Structure 1
């Protein structure tokens, strides 16, 4: 990956996170009948929403590049089929943990909200994996699901501890958007140098 392509990925992901946070934040505030006193309050509020989205996008990019390293090492240590099986198992465990772990041993929200969140993440991830497979090839299914489900759940552990549904939606929505954007555009970013850079990625 060249520096130019990395910068393009970085800034566009920042934009995705900022727009996603702004959209979800405004929707949540309007449904919660939040009143803003004047133009200054509105501008400050928009700035906060954009700032949170930018921070979420940076966090998403850290998780994305960590995943690329894990995927590279996994394909180097294990056979392709073994690594695929391991990703399937880890994905299933992460999803089940999100559904039920806090209900049994955790404190806070838990229950139906976690199950709903898990179903939403699963649906979005399947849609992203399907589109990724259409853009590239069918072998992208499992790595994309692993990244969109397992890695996303790891990234959002912090907000899950808060136990507030609105906060969870505000953070998870732009996080999912950033992760989906990065995995879908990865093959385009790597294409100009794919013949010279030995990077293993879900293309």
Structure 2
């Protein structure tokens, strides 16, 4: 990957995070007491805040993406390919179970239904992204894509989970999933050399 391709990926992911954050911010149910728009300038300021948050979330997502790329490169050199596939699958399952069940057992104030729905939503998005990635490349992309979409996304959103507020969790998870999905789905096109 050269600098030109990386900068394109960076800016496009930034835009994905910002747009998804704006859409999520306006679709989330909010109370009239907490957010009230008096005029157009309030709406524009809210859009600006959402844009900035989405851009920051996309940068966080890109840090996780490149950390995964380094981890994957290192692990392929250390483990046999089949063993690394199994390790990724086990770690993805453990991360998903941690989000769905473990948080509820440790912190009694957490809603188990909200955690279960969050885990199922991540799983559904991960399976859909893995399906399209495998269709666009090859069958061996299933497990790495599932691992990235499940385990890496969960690691990236740990700070948001500590807030213990469903709207805040949704507001963090949706842009993260969108950015992660975009990066993993576009990677083979970015790395593919141009035909002369």
Q: Same fold (TM over 0.5)?
A: yes
The CA deviation string for residues 18-63 of structure 1, in whole angstroms up to 9 with x for no partner, is 000000001115x544420111111110100000000000000000
CA separation in 2, counterparts of 1:2 and 1:129? 25
Q: Which residue of 2 aligns with 1:175?
A: 176
Q: Is the contact between residue 18 and residue 53 of structure 1 (CA under 8 Å) also seen in structure 2? A: yes
Q: Which residue of 2 aligns with 1:90?
A: 91
Q: Which residue of 2 aligns with 1:3?
A: 3
CA separation in 2, counterparts of 1:102 and 1:135? 35
Q: Output the TM-score relative to the length of structure 2.
A: 0.95
Q: Is the contact between residue 95 and residue 149 of structure 1 (CA under 8 Å) also seen in structure 2? A: yes
C-alpha displacement of 1:109: 2.6
C-alpha displacement of 1:108: 4.1
The CA deviation string for residues 88-142 of structure 1, in whole angstroms up to 9 with x for no partner, is 1100100000011111112543411000000000000000000000000000000
CA separation in 2, counterparts of 1:176 and 1:109? 22
Tell which deviates more after alignment, 107-116 or 169-178.
107-116
Q: Output the TM-score relative to the length of structure 1.
A: 0.92
The CA RMSD measured in Å over matched residues stands at 1.2
Q: What secondary structure, in the 3-state scheme, does the structure 2 residue paired with 1:186 have? A: helix
Q: Which residue of 2 aligns with 1:23?
A: 23
CA separation in 1, counterparts of 2:142 and 2:88? 11
Q: Does 1:192 align with 2:193?
A: yes
Q: Is the contact between residue 102 and residue 110 of structure 1 (CA under 8 Å) also seen in structure 2? A: no
Which consecutive residues of structure 1, in runs of 5 or more, have no partner in the other structure?
A: 194-203
1:52-67 alignment runs, 5 A limit: 52-67=53-68
Q: What secondary structure, in the 3-state scheme, does the structure 2 residue paired with 1:109 have? A: coil
1:39-58 alignment runs, 5 A limit: 39-58=40-59
The CA deviation string for residues 153-201 of structure 1, in whole angstroms up to 9 with x for no partner, is 00000000000000111110010000000000000111128xxxxxxxx
Moved >4 Å (runs of 4+)? none
Q: What secondary structure, in the 3-state scheme, does the structure 2 residue paired with 1:162 have? A: coil
Which consecutive residues of structure 2, in runs of 5 or more, have no partner in the other structure?
A: none
